[in-house]
Amino acid sequence: MISKFVLFLLPCFMMARGETEAFEKDLLLYSADTERECEFFEDIMPHKKRNGSCELNPDVYLNVPQIIARHGYPSEAHIVQTKDGYLLTLHRIPGPKSGKRGGQPVFLQHGLLGSSADWVVNEGQALAFFLADQGYDVWLGNARGNTYSKAHVTYSIKSPAYWNFSWHEMGTYDLPAVLQYVSTHTNRPGEIIYIGHSMGTTMFFVFSSLKPQAAKNVKLMIALAPTAYMTHVRSPIRYLAPFSNDAQWILRNLGFNQFLPRGKILDLLNYECQLLEQRKICENAFFLICGFNKAEMNMDILPVAFAHDPAGSSTKTVLHYGQEIHANGNFQQYDYGKEINMIKYNQSTPLKYDVGKIRSNIYLMYAEKDKLTSPIDVLRLSHKLPNLIGLYRVPNENFDHVDFIFGKDAMELVNKQVLKVIHNFTETDMV
């Protein structure tokens, strides 16, 4: 069966004379790609084939602005340059389909190995669309090094210098730049609602602890799967912890550029996963590290999730978490070794982030079965935050790290709670 989306585009392709043959070739290529995608997921999602034909969501082949537009929302893209020269892409849904504008700005920041796509691909459960429907001005961030923010004013992406960053730089350079841009562009200083997932929360904790003045642009921060302390991590990322300070091992097995685990490293990381899940799931670095939960995953969007994640990041970003695990879970800056630490930090060990300096209003949402963000570590964080306004445990025993964005029950268990919390800090009348 050819997708209704393709049939809808047929008249557009046929408008120009002489393009019929090209369209037919494109149609055949699309059909072949669709069949290959369905064959890949057939053993996991047999319901995707009906009457011998493949049914695949067209969002598999679209980028984020196209996905937003396909679902009927206004779509914008903005480029922001950081002080250290990285070019970041923001995606924006400026309001609901009705055309109303001027709502409260909400900034959504994706997690580890993710992108802005994470907020729009979970059909019927997507937080970005849900907030836009309520009249909010929704901005979607993309951290340096991912699919949409892989550019620099000086460095080539093939250069090790480009990839020399972790979530520390995302917090100290990316967030100050993009949040100031949103504040200026919307003329709503101090009114941004920040919602982060996974690494998106880590970035904010770094940002707000080191740059409290800049963090005043944020009215409220909501943390989905808040990731700071990592003492009780159950994710396979913990297997990298013993090697996270061994430069020779890293160079030999991972390299210092983009995080692309393969060969023996992939086997090391996915051994435990393969005992529980399909091999195809375990070969995807995003689900391998962040977890896969068949009981809660919206299986209908699995091909779309696979098409967009992992979206890319640096090896250093992943290793920074590994270093924390190796250092008894401390929330700390990157460990460069004693000699360089003395130069950078004036001490032989990395500086710890002082979350007690965070003045932002923060609401934490966590899940009991989260493999990357342990409830114990979340509670430790909650006791240190001066302006904690609430702590919410997702009322589902099986909920995991990725289910906050891709879960089949995300609307009821996460999104509606998020909206309830936002309403307590919003004076603007919504749709």
**For 278-302, how does the pLDDT look when each residue is reduced to its tens digit (9 = 90+)?**
666 776 777 777 778 878 888 888 8
On whether the CB atoms of residues 374 and 238 are closer than 8 A, the answer is no
Q: Give the separation between CA 423 and CA 37, rounded to whole angstroms.
A: 41
| pLDDT at residue 47 is higher than 70 | no
Kindly compute the dihedral angle of the four CA atoms of residues 390, 396, 402, 408, in this order, to the nearest 10 degrees.
-120
Active site includes 320?
Answer: no
CA–CA separation, 45 and 56 (whole Å): 11
By residue range, what is the domain housing residue 11? 4-56
Residue 20 within any structural domain of the chain = yes
Both 43 and 97 in one domain: the answer is no
What is the C-alpha separation between 380 and 371, in angstroms, rounded? 16
Q: Which two tokens stand for residue 384?
A: 């240190």
Given a cut of 80, whether residue 376 has pLDDT beyond it is yes
Rounded Cα distance, 207 and 201, in Å: 10
Q: Where would I find the H helices in 156-262? A: 167-169, 175-186, 199-210, 247-253
Q: What residues contact 264, with CB distance under 8 A and at least 6 apart?
A: 253
Query: Which residue among 110, 308, 326, 401 is the active-site one?
Result: 401
DSSP track, 69-110: HHTT---EEEEEE-TTSBEEEEEEE-S-TT----PPEEEEE-
Whether 342 and 300 share a structural domain = yes
What tokens appear for 150 in the block? 């892989």
369/397 Cα distance (integer angstroms): 7
At 13 the pLDDT is: 41
For residue 428, tell me if it sits in a domain. no
Q: Considering the domain boundaries, does residue 137 fall inside one? A: yes
> Among the options 59, 370, 400, 403, which is catalytic?
370
Alpha-carbon gap, residue 330 to 208, rounded angstroms = 17
Tell me the per-residue pLDDT of 71-130, one tens digit each, with 9 for 90 and over.
999 999 999 999 999 999 999 999 999 989 999 999 999 999 999 999 999 989 999 999
Instruction: Specify whether 42 is located in the same domain as 80.
Output: no
- Nearest-angstrom CA–CA distance, 225 and 370: 8
CA–CA gap between residue 325 and residue 277 (Å, rounded)? 25
Q: Check whether residue 23 and residue 150 sit in a common domain.
A: no
The answer to whether residues 22 and 119 belong to one domain is no
Q: Quick one: 222 and 115 in the same domain?
A: yes
Domain count, the chain: 2
- Helix (H) or strand (E) segment spanning residue 28: helix 20-41
Residue 378: closest CA among 317, 419, 329? 329
Lowest mean pLDDT among 27-31, 93-97, 278-282, 318-322: 27-31
Distance CA 288, CA 180 (A): 34
Identity of the residue numbered 179: L
Is the pLDDT confidence value at 338 over 60? yes
Model confidence at 26: pLDDT above 50: no
Catalytic entry in 198, 208, 313, 374: 198
pLDDT attached to residue 287? 72
117 & 224 share domain = yes
Residue at which a domain ends, from 14, 32, 56: 56
If asked whether residues 201 and 137 sit together in one domain, one would say yes
Asked if residue 414 has pLDDT above 60, the reply is yes
**Which domain CATH number covers 196?**
3.40.50.1820
Q: Is the peptide bond before 310 cis (omega within 30 degrees of 0)?
A: yes
Is 198 noted as a catalytic residue in this protein?
yes
User: What does the pLDDT look like over 160-203, one tens digit per residue?
Assistant: 999 999 999 999 999 999 999 999 999 999 999 999 999 999 99
Residue 332 is given by DSSP the state B
> Is residue 248 pLDDT above 70, yes or no?
no
Is the domain of 314 the same as that of 333?
Answer: yes
Neighbours of 80 (CB within 10 A): 20
Does residue 44 have a pLDDT over 60?
Answer: no
Distances in Å between the alpha carbon of 399 and those of 178, 232, 240, 405?
31, 17, 25, 11
Are 116 and 33 in a shared domain?
Answer: no
Do both 206 and 71 map to the same domain?
A: yes
H or E stretch at 50? strand 49-50
- Per the model's pLDDT, the better-predicted residue between 294 and 372 turns out to be 372
Give the closest residue to 232 by CA, choosing from 367, 399, 376.
376
Q: Is 209 a catalytic residue?
A: no
- Say if residue 5's pLDDT is above 50: no
The model's confidence at residue 275, banded by pLDDT at 50, 70 and 90, is: low
Burial class (CB in 10 A: 0-12, 13-18, 19+), 184: exposed
Please, are residues 237 and 272 in contact by the beta-carbon 8 Å criterion? Answer: no
Residues in Cβ contact with 265 at an 8 Å cutoff, skipping those fewer than 6 apart: 253, 254
